[in-house]
Chain A
Amino acid sequence: MSYCVNCGVELEKSEPRCPLCGTEVVNPSAPQEEKPVRPYPSHVEHLDRRLDRRYIASFISLLLLIPLFTVMLTNIMVSGKLTWSYYVIGGELVAFTVFLLPMIATNMIRLLYIVIDAAAVGVLLLLIRIMNQSDWSWLLLLGLPVTGFAALFAWFLSWMTSKKCRLPVLVRASLALAGIGLLIVCIEFFIGLYRHAIAWPSWSLYVLFPCLVLGSALLLLNRRARLKAEIRKRFYF
């Protein structure tokens, strides 16, 4: 007869340690007997593991190859070379990097993910240019820079939503608004560059100014603890 020194409950002979606290049963005066029968068999029934997203994503990636090859084959049979199937190649590449890659490579750092996505979009644009047989200026002056800045903005947002970012929520919202305004200004600048008509930003200012004003209002609000408390009080629900 053994008791758990920690819990005060008596332990059945078959228990090697207290099931409540894990304390080993040591009873120096108990004679060595043959091993008592355990109340339950040692064989354990296992449950299915959760849906393996990585496996499914890899599987879908493989499935994506079927339309790809079909389209390429048809294209070669009809035109004798690869032409319009470039659109499908580029499109599938972007779909893969954006949706399936994060499911396959779960531990990838965010920056790398964004860089790869941007590169995939770049490749798609390049393929479109090859298909259109147009001049390079459209791709170099408009397509790639806008993609690059959009990627930069995406990285900025991802940094602000990460746990490492210790800024107050209001400051983050303010910075995000400023970021949106600047991105729009950049887009207008590159459109101007492409048209060989760089001018003082015009329509993007309609976006920039409200963003900046709203952003600075949020910054001011953040500095006023009392005002913040007041708003919290009035909007309490």
Chain B
Amino acid sequence: MQKKRKKYKPWMKLDNAALIYPATMNRNWTALFRLSATLREPIDEDILEVAQKRTLRRLPWFSYKLKRGLFWFYLERSDEMPKIEQDVGNPCVRIRLKDSDGFCMRVRYYQNRIAVEFFHVLTDGTGGLVFLQTLVAEYLRLRYGADIPRGERVLDCAEPPRPEEAEDSFASNSGTITQTRSETKAFHVNGTDERGGFVHIVTGSMDAEAVRQKAREKGVTVTEYLTAVLILSVDAIQRKSTAHVHRLKPVKICVPINLRNVFPSKTLRNFANYVNPGIDPRLGVYTFDETLNIVHHFMAMEVTKKLLNVKITTNVRTEQNRLLRLMPLFIKNAAMKYVYSQVGDAISTTTLSNLGVAKLPEEMAQYVRRMDFILGPLADNRVCAAALTYNGRLRINFTRTIEEPLLEREFFTRLVKLGVHVKVESNQAE
């Protein structure tokens, strides 16, 4: 007889990084990101639903609902399941909690593709990728009877949930020293607003090994290489639009850092931080090598256990502030909105989130043709980019809420000039 499963926690606090997202969301914007896997055959909705159910049993807090408390938002357990949806032409459009019944993620499918869109309160890219891989593995098991070895990246749905996977690793890794969050404001790419909230997705796919070779020639990592190209692309756009040298603003790229690589943590909730490498174009025109050098050494300096610990501590201390804790939620939200407007998107030009390489077990990889990572539109920045490598292809997805594809064009043509072969795809209307 099957043992009755013990119910998981009835409610959860938001983790430290997640606090800002419900406070800053509004009717037309939620901080989302999307991970998708494209299989070789069309998706069966019913099987996908069963796979989702089993995956949610292993990772139960993904189906928790976001609720308002008197002082904080919290996640509440629910026994319902989010509905499987048909995909749409403009992915990552805001989740309206009223429409989604409070669920903070949605599984969508189109043709051969399974996509999961996550509200950032639940998890970050790494946690999302584990969820997607487990979901796809479960789907493949049910659909084709594939026997996929389970481990840390592809979880075994027969096991009970592990508490360490749902811990707030920020709290356990904070120290004592804090620093200010304020930074100089950065240049923003502007353009004509897309009416009705259409989100443009332009995907550039390239040979991962070729890019890695290019980066290795310069002695930098792939993320640093792409960041430098992106910085120079933005710089070119800014120089075209601004005549006065004095009016040029710093170009800074927000690069998320996976803290699991730096701190010991098994959490599958948010555990990432950001660094903002960039240049000040007022000082003159930067060459590619100079920019690479700046980005490389900036990352070496900032992405260290000590400095990241200071950043984590700053955020955790704010959360622990008694005055802030006692403020009613609606005042807290207003305060957090203000802080976000000052030190959120304002201090970076755009985001380049590189999730690295998705490695699947051989038994699973034969069914999965491609994987994508898309960031939802940011609050104030109109263009952002996300990268994921799978099966030897590095795919960079640009998300844009303005009409003009300025940054993508500059970025991809620059890569072509650097000798990288780029293949482009998009969700543009026919």
Q: Is A10 an interface residue (CB 8 A)?
A: yes
Q: Which residues 57-113 in B have Cβ within 8 Å of A in the complex? A: 86-91, 93-94, 110-111
In contact, B412 and A7 (Cβ under 8 angstroms): yes
A13 to chain B: closest residue by CB? B425
Q: Does A21 contact B (CB under 8 A)?
A: yes
Contacts of B428 in A (CB 8 A): 15-17, 19
CB distance from A132 to the nearest CB of B (A): 48
Any chain B CB within 8 A of the CB of A52? no
Segment of A32-40, A61-69, A139-147, A181-189 engaged in the interface with chain B: A32-40
Q: Specify which of B197, B416, B422, B427 is in contact with A39 (CB 8 Å cutoff).
A: B427
Contacting residues, chain A, for B5 (C-beta < 8 A): none
B426 at the binding interface (Cβ < 8 Å): yes
- Distance of A46 Cα from B197 Cα, bound (Å): 6
The reply to whether B430 and A42 contact each other, CB–CB distance below 8 Å, is yes
Q: Given A7-B412, A11-B424, do A48 and B27 touch, yes or no (CB 8 Å)?
A: yes
B416 lies within 8 A of A45 (CB):
no
Interface segment among B134-142, B198-206, B248-256, B261-269: the answer is B198-206
**Shortest Cβ distance from B429 into A: residue:** A42
When the two chains form the complex, which single residue of A11, A17, A41, A46 contacts B423, counting CB atoms closer than 8 Å?
A11
Give every chain A residue within 8 A of B89 (Cβ-Cβ): 40-45
CB distance from A56 to the nearest CB of B (A): 15
Instruction: With CB as the reference atom, state the residue of chain A lying closest to B200.
Output: A19
Task: Give B93's nearest chain A residue, CB to CB.
Answer: A45
Interface centre among A8, A39, A48 (most CB of B within 10 A): A39
> How long is the Cα–Cα vector from A11 to B408 in the complex, in angstroms?
14
Picked from A16, A20, A41, A47, the residue with its CB within 8 Å of the CB of B424 is: A20
When chains A and B are docked, how far (Å) is the Cα of A46 from the Cα of B198? 7
| A46 closest partner in B (C-beta) | B196
* Residues of the A chain whose Cβ atoms lie less than 8 Å from the Cβ of B202: 19-20
Pairwise interchain contact B413-A19, C-beta atoms closer than 8 A: no
* A9 interface residue per 8 A CB criterion: yes
Determine the chain B residues whose CB is within 8 A of the CB of A18 once the complex forms: 424
Count chain A residues whose beta carbon lies closer than 8 angstroms to a beta carbon of B: 28
Query: In whole angstroms, how far apart are the Cα atoms of A44 and B110 in the complex?
Result: 13
Instruction: Determine if B88 and A43 form an interchain contact, defined as CB atoms under 8 angstroms apart.
Output: yes
Of A19, A42, A43, which contacts B426 at CB under 8 A? Answer: A19
Q: How many residues of B contact A (CB 8 A)?
A: 37
Contact A9 B423 (CB under 8 A): yes
Q: Report the nearest B residue to A48, measured CB to CB.
A: B27
A12-B93 contact, Cβ under 8 Å, with A20-B408, A41-B86, A48-B27: no
Give A44 to B91 CA distance when docked, in angstroms.
9
What is the CB-to-nearest-CB distance from A11 to chain B, in angstroms, rounded to a whole number? 6
Interface residues of B (CB under 8 A from A): 27-28, 86-91, 93-94, 110-111, 196-198, 200-204, 405, 408-409, 412-413, 416-417, 421-430
Tell me the smallest distance from the CB of A32 to a CB of chain B, in Å.
Answer: 16
Return the chain A residue nearest B422 by Cβ. Answer: A9
Cα–Cα distance between A18 and B412 once the two chains are bound (Å): 12
CB <8 Å contact, B416 and A44: no
Given the contacts A9-B412, A37-B111, A45 and B88 also touching, CB distance less than 8 Å: yes
On chain B, the residues within 8 Å of A44 by CB distance are: 88-90, 196, 198
A160 to chain B, nearest CB (A): 28
CB of A14 closer than 8 Å to a CB of B: yes
Report the Cα distance A9→B418, complex, angstroms: 12
Q: Give the shortest distance, in Å, between A20 (CB) and chain B (any CB).
A: 4
How far, in angstroms, from A217 to B416 measured CA to CA in the complex? 63
- A63–B395 Cα distance when bound, in Å, is 55
The listed residue with most B CB atoms (<10 A of its CB), out of A43, A47, A48, is A47
- A164 and B344 CA atoms in complex are apart in Å by 38
Cα A168 to Cα B416 with chains together (Å): 51
Known: A15-B424, A42-B89, A47-B94. 6 other contacts (CB 8 A): A7-B413, A15-B425, A20-B408, A40-B87, A40-B110, A46-B197
User: Which residues of A lie under 8 Å from residue B413 when comparing CB positions?
Assistant: 7-9, 20
Contact A12 B425 (CB under 8 A): yes
Return A46 CB to nearest CB of chain B, in Å: 5
Contacts of A47 in B (CB 8 A): 28, 93-94, 196-197
Note all chain A residues with C-beta closer than 8 A to B110.
40-41
Closest chain B residue, CB of each to CB of A20: B409
The answer on a CB contact under 8 Å between B111 and A10 is no
Q: List 24 A-B contacts (CB under 8 A).
A: A7-B409, A7-B412, A7-B413, A7-B424, A8-B413, A10-B423, A11-B424, A12-B424, A15-B425, A15-B426, A15-B428, A18-B424, A19-B200, A19-B408, A20-B408, A20-B413, A21-B409, A40-B110, A41-B110, A43-B86, A43-B88, A44-B196, A47-B94, A48-B28
